[in-house]
Amino acid sequence: MSEVPIEQYVFLRYLPEVPEEIPPVGGMYATMPEESGEPVKLRPHGIANPESQKWRFVRNDDGDGYKIEGVYEPVKGLPPVGLGPAWKNDAPGPGTPITISLFKDASAYDVNVVKEHELGLIISIVPKYNSVRPGSSEYVGASGDNVEIVSVPFYLPPPPHPGWLMLNAN
């Protein structure tokens, strides 16, 4: 099984249910909003500024989980890790939007490789916080065109859950 690429830019194509067939073209992608504090949006690839759809996974300092950072363009050179805008959920629980904050204030997420796909990796993104809801699991998914935390009932075999197709953006 492949590892999550660290500190490499990727596109994140939303998958409402994993596993599912993935059409080779189309889909909605996690897209940087216009303003800090607004929810991350789902937009078709190429409609928005391509830089606004690039993300990279940065391992937390303690090695437990990741922060998801957007493109940060300094005046010169390669963008340094840890300075860009990043994903944040202000509260636990379903319906909480994933917004953009400063990297230092960003939330941590577990990123699990569900399976490899010919186009990239299929992953699930799970918020890291100490809130347990009996009978359900929480994932980063979407409602309409906003990226947010969604709840999926937990039982065996596991039901479909939201995921993301991670595509190389370099």
The CATH number of the domain holding residue 110 is 2.80.10.50
Within 10 Å of residue 46's Cβ, how many Cβ atoms? 9
Q: Is residue 1 part of a domain?
A: no
Q: Which domain holds residue 40?
A: 10-168
Note whether 79 and 7 are within 8 A (CB).
Answer: no
> Among all chains, which residue has been given the structure tokens 């922060």?
67
Specify whether the CB–CB gap between 127 and 80 falls below 8 A.
no
Whether 4 maps to a domain, the answer reads no
User: Is residue 19, in this structure, part of any structural domain at all?
Assistant: yes
- Give a yes or no: residue 132 inside a domain: yes
Is position 3 within any domain?
Answer: no
- Mean pLDDT (whole number) for 86-99: 93
CA 49 to chain centre: 18
Q: Please check the confidence at residue 77 and state whether its pLDDT lies above 80.
A: no
Whether residue 143 lies inside any domain: the answer is: yes
In a domain, 26, yes or no: yes
11 — pLDDT class (breaks 50, 70, 90) = very high
State the total domains in the chain: 1
In a domain, 5, yes or no: no
What average pLDDT does the chain have?
A: 88
Those residues whose C-beta lies under 8 Å from the C-beta of residue 5, and which sit 6 or more positions away, are 57, 166, 168
What is the distance between the alpha carbons of residues 166 and 124, in angstroms, rounded to a whole number? 10
Beta carbons within 8 Å of 160's beta carbon, 6+ residues apart: 17, 18, 19, 20, 152
Cα diameter, the chain:
51
Half-sphere exposure of 46 (CA within 13 A, CB side): 3
Q: HSE-up of 1 (CA within 13 Å, CB side)?
A: 7
Return the closest-CA partner of residue 106 out of 82, 85, 88.
88
Render pLDDT for 112-139 as a digit per residue (tens, 0 to 9): 999 999 999 999 999 997 666 778 889 9
